[in-house]
Amino acid sequence: MKMFIPALRLSVVLMLVCGLLYPLVTTGVAQLLFPSQANGSLIIQDGKIIGSSLLAQEVKSPGLFQPRASNAKYDPTASAGSNRAVASPEYIAEMNQKLATLRQENPTLPQQIPADLVTGSGSGLDPDLSPEAAMAQIPRISQATGLSKQKLTQLIEDHTQGRQLGIFGEPRVNVNELNLALIAEEK
């Protein structure tokens, strides 16, 4: 009993500090300094939440930019990569099928296509494409929407983000934001 009371007191204090105080402080600081990010980087249109700029969304329209393939079927509760070895027969067959579908939907694709047009991201939810992958989709989108290739190129350039801090990562285009700009351009 002599050791039990101090241990109980310490447990209660640590539960209050770690389970209540710390989460409240970090949440408050995040809401104060980074409110959009703390709330999930939500995309709001006409007062309605239509998604998050951090999560890819399935796009079926030929008049919109297609995001990377998703092994999670674009379900944010089921983040998943394929876990297949790149030399496995299943992976090779899947990539050949994706290439055939991509070439059917985009007949003017160059011989060398950006890998992110057929491969999924590690999470299956990455909303970003390389600028080259977005540019490769321009002929299909131009034909479907009637927008000029120059206008679509300008939209991609306007939505291309550079490397983080100038050195980390690769240039990228958020497909969700690009498609919203494309829809607004069509109106």
Average of per-residue pLDDT across 34-48: 89
Ranges 93-107, 133-147, 159-173: which has the least confidence: 93-107
CA-wise closest residue to 73 among 63, 81, 64, 62: 81
Average pLDDT, the chain: 89
Q: Give the residue with greater pLDDT, 86 vs 12.
A: 12
pLDDT at 23: 96
Domain assignments of the chain as residue spans, ordered by start: 1-39, 41-186
Q: Is residue 83 scored above 80 in pLDDT?
A: no
Please state the φ and ψ torsions of residue 72, each to the nearest 5 degrees: -95, 5
93-109, pLDDT tens digit by residue?
Answer: 988 898 888 888 888 88
Please tell me the predicted confidence (pLDDT) of residue 94: 87
